[in-house]
């Protein structure tokens, strides 16, 4: 049990080997032999923000297509080969990025590189596999959006917060667009966004950096660079008053979702909003949990979602209310609590509590090779520099009570809030 003061340095990035191939592919390798595993992440700089109406959801649908066969490893081979070598793989698509990973025993490294390079070089897009994945994605949408109360409400909220920006539509896309995406759309998408110059690879774990870099060069160097992707149109108009929506659904209890447009991830305010998030809703002693859940019993749960995004994102608050509570009553309390922080600020002790909890949460994330590889990729994709992965705690440590008050007042302005209320319909 060390008694030294909590330090802010959590990742030793001096050991990172960073290199860019002539075709633009960025490679970052971090050896760490503390566990006999390795994690391999490929980040493509494309997400729903790069889409347009008519083919919304293509980034996510395309993510599914990446597992359906390429020139060397044909249909059904990717996972089969990987699993037979003791590894596993998955991927996710967000508003900003599409990321693929493999976790595996170190002796499977070359196989993983071969599999990933094969699909970046020569993905095969067939009409048959597109139709199958389309059905799978429709089930995914039914699961996460149509039959999920939070999913239904979130879809409405994003469409209120953004009038013009592509963050307006859900990552999984509108059902009609999922139906409409063609093989040609996918081909064009692949050529533009899956070229090596739009990608970065992060390998962390039990590895030799020189040998790993040589393997990656050997497998990827002959893949041609692609065109530069079109910039994402900005131009979101300013919000001049509250926006509201009601979702009617036969639920057992009401719920409330509120959201405000925040800053871009690169803004220095992002870290202050993380601290605000913890002060408001992380832990039983946070302001909203104590007032709404414990003292007044209007809510059974309160959570805040402040996810960093490339362009200005959303700070949202989600309340699951007790069955007979009037939504308006809970809402009034929520506004009061936010107003309190925006006008009177928070105590130094609350900021310290938030910093301590954020430090633990960063340490948890960095406790695995997978977590470190992801943190490096996320930092580079959103902030432009993988080194930022090691600086999170410095940013949190620099936040003071005044910053928390300022960002609450600036971003959580009542005139710029959006509200989605769930109205549980009368049971039939």
Partner 1 sequence: MSAPITLPPIHRESLPSGLSVVIAQRPGVPLAAVRLVLRGGSSLDPPRRSGLAHLVALAARRGTRRRTGPEIDLAVESLGAEIGAGVDEDATYFGLSAPLEELPRCTDILADLATRPTFPPAEVKRLQRREIAALAHDLDEPSVVADRAMLAAAFGDHPYGHPPEGRVRDLSDARRADVVAFHGHHYRPSEAILVVVGKVEVSEVLSLVRRRFGAWRGPDGAATPVRAPAPPETQVVVVDKPDVTQSQVRIASPGFPRKSPDYVPGIVASALLGGGFTSRLMEAIRVNRGLSYGVRSRFATSASGGVFFVSTFTKVETTAEIVQVALDETARFAEEGPTGDELERTKSYLCGLFPLSLETHDQLAEKLADLALFDLPDDDVRLFRDRVRAVGPDECRLAARRYFPLERRVVVAVGPAKAIARSLERFGPVTVIPARKMV
Interface residues for partner 1 in 251-280 (CB under 8 A)? 251-253, 255
Q: In this chain, which of 54, 74, 86, 218 binds partner 1, going by CB under 8 A?
A: 86
Instruction: Report whether 419 contacts 256 (CB < 8 A).
Output: yes
CA distances from 390 to 30, 181, 206, 251, 270 (A): 13, 39, 20, 43, 16
Question: Rule CB under 8 A: which of 94-113 touch partner 1?
Answer: 103-108
| 136 near partner 1, judged by CB under 8 A | yes
Q: 256 φ, ψ to 5°?
A: -140, 135
Q: Binding segment for partner 1 among 2-10, 156-164, 220-228, 238-246 (CB under 8 A)?
A: 2-10
Q: In this chain, which of 249, 340, 409, 410 binds partner 1, going by CB under 8 A?
A: 249
Find the shortest distance in angstroms from Cβ 149 to partner 1. 5
Output 32 or 331, the one with its CB closest to partner 1: 32
Q: In this chain, which of 146, 208, 210, 394 binds partner 1, going by CB under 8 A?
A: 146
The tokens describing 336, both together, are 């009061």
The tokens describing 46, both together, are 């494309």
Q: Taking Cα atoms as reference points, which of 191, 22, 198 lies closest to residue 98?
A: 198
Q: Taking Cα atoms as reference points, which of 351, 345, 362, 363 lies closest to residue 398?
A: 351
For the chain, percent helix, then strand, then coil, each to nearest 5? 50, 20, 35
Find the shortest distance in angstroms from Cβ 405 to partner 1. 20
CA distances from 337 to 174, 216, 263, 287, 342 (A): 35, 52, 21, 7, 9
Residue located via tokens 């414990």: 294
How far is it, in rounded angstroms, from Cα 301 to Cα 200?
38
| 367 near partner 1, judged by CB under 8 A | yes
Question: Rule CB under 8 A: which of 409-428 touch partner 1?
Answer: 428
| 246 near partner 1, judged by CB under 8 A | no
| 91 near partner 1, judged by CB under 8 A | no
Count of chain residues binding partner 1 (CB under 8 A): 78
CA angle, residues 400, 358, 393, in degrees to nearest 5: 70
Q: Which residues contact 63 (CB under 8 A, 6 or more apart)?
A: 91, 92, 93, 98, 100
Q: In this chain, which of 352, 385, 394, 402 binds partner 1, going by CB under 8 A?
A: 352
Output 224 or 360, the one with its CB closest to partner 1: 360
Instruction: Report whether 353 contacts 7 (CB < 8 A).
Output: no
Output 107 or 208, the one with its CB closest to partner 1: 107
| 180 near partner 1, judged by CB under 8 A | no
Site string for partner 1, 291-330 (x = CB under 8 A): --xx--x--xx------------------x-xx-------
| 348 near partner 1, judged by CB under 8 A | no
Output 196 or 424, the one with its CB closest to partner 1: 424
Output 139 or 184, the one with its CB closest to partner 1: 139
Instruction: Report whether 334 contacts 256 (CB < 8 A).
Output: yes
Q: Taking Cα atoms as reference points, which of 391, 269, 417, 266 lies closest to residue 335?
A: 417
Find the shortest distance in angstroms from Cβ 174 to partner 1. 15
| 76 near partner 1, judged by CB under 8 A | yes
Find the shortest distance in angstroms from Cβ 417 to partner 1. 24
According to DSSP, the β-strands at 255-261 and 314-321 are: antiparallel
| 374 near partner 1, judged by CB under 8 A | no
Q: In this chain, which of 283, 343, 344, 423 binds partner 1, going by CB under 8 A?
A: 283
Q: In this chain, which of 241, 250, 415, 426 binds partner 1, going by CB under 8 A?
A: 250
How far is it, in rounded angstroms, from Cα 86 to Cα 67?
17
| 142 near partner 1, judged by CB under 8 A | yes
Site string for partner 1, 18-37 (x = CB under 8 A): ----------------xxxx
């Amino acid at each position: 049990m060390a008694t030294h003061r909590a330090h802010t340095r959590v990742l030793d990035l001096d050991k990172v080997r960073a290199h860019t191939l002539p075709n633009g592919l960025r490679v970052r390798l971090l050896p760490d032999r503390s566990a006999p595993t390795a994690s391999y992440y490929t980040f493509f700089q494309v997400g729903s923000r790069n889409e347009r109406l008519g083919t919304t959801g293509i980034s996510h649908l395309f993510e599914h297509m990446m597992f359906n066969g390429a020139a060397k490893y044909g249909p059904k081979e990717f996972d089969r080969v990987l699993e037979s070598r003791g590894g596993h793989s998955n991927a996710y698509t967000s508003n900003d990025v599409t990321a693929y990973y493999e976790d595996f025993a170190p002796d499977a490294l070359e196989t993983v590189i071969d599999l990933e390079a094969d699909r970046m070089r020569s993905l095969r897009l067939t009409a048959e596999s597109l139709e199958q994945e389309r059905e799978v994605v429709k089930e995914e949408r039914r699961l996460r959006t149509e039959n999920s109360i939070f999913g239904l409400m979130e879809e409405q909220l994003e469409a209120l917060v953004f009038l013009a920006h592509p963050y307006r539509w859900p990552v999984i896309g509108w059902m009609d667009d999922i139906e409409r995406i063609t093989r040609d759309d996918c081909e064009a998408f692949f050529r533009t966004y899956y070229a090596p110059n739009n990608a970065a690879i992060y390998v962390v774990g039990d590895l030799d950096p020189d040998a790993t870099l040589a393997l990656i060069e050997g497998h990827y160097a002959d893949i041609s660079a692609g065109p530069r992707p079109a910039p994402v149109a900005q131009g979101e108009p300013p919000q001049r008053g509250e926006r509201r929506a009601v979702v009617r659904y036969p639920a057992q209890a009401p719920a409330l979702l509120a959201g405000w447009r925040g800053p871009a991830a690169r803004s220095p305010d992002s870290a202050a909003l993380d601290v605000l998030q913890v002060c408001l809703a992380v832990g039983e002693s946070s302001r909203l949990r104590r007032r709404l859940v414990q003292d007044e019993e209007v809510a059974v749960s309160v959570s805040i979602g402040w996810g960093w995004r490339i362009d200005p994102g959303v700070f949202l608050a989600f309340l699951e209310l007790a069955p007979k509570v009037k939504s308006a009553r809970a809402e009034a309390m929520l506004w009061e609590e936010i107003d309190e922080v925006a006008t009177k600020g928070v105590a130094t002790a609350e900021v310290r509590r938030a910093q301590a909890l954020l430090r633990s949460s960063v340490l948890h994330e960095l406790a695995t090779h997978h977590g470190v590889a992801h943190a490096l990729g996320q930092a580079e994709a959103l902030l432009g520099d993988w080194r930022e992965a090691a600086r999170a705690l410095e940013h949190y440590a620099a936040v003071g009570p005044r910053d928390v008050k300022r960002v609450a007042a600036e971003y959580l302005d009542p005139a710029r809030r959006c509200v989605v209320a769930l109205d549980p319909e009368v049971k039939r």
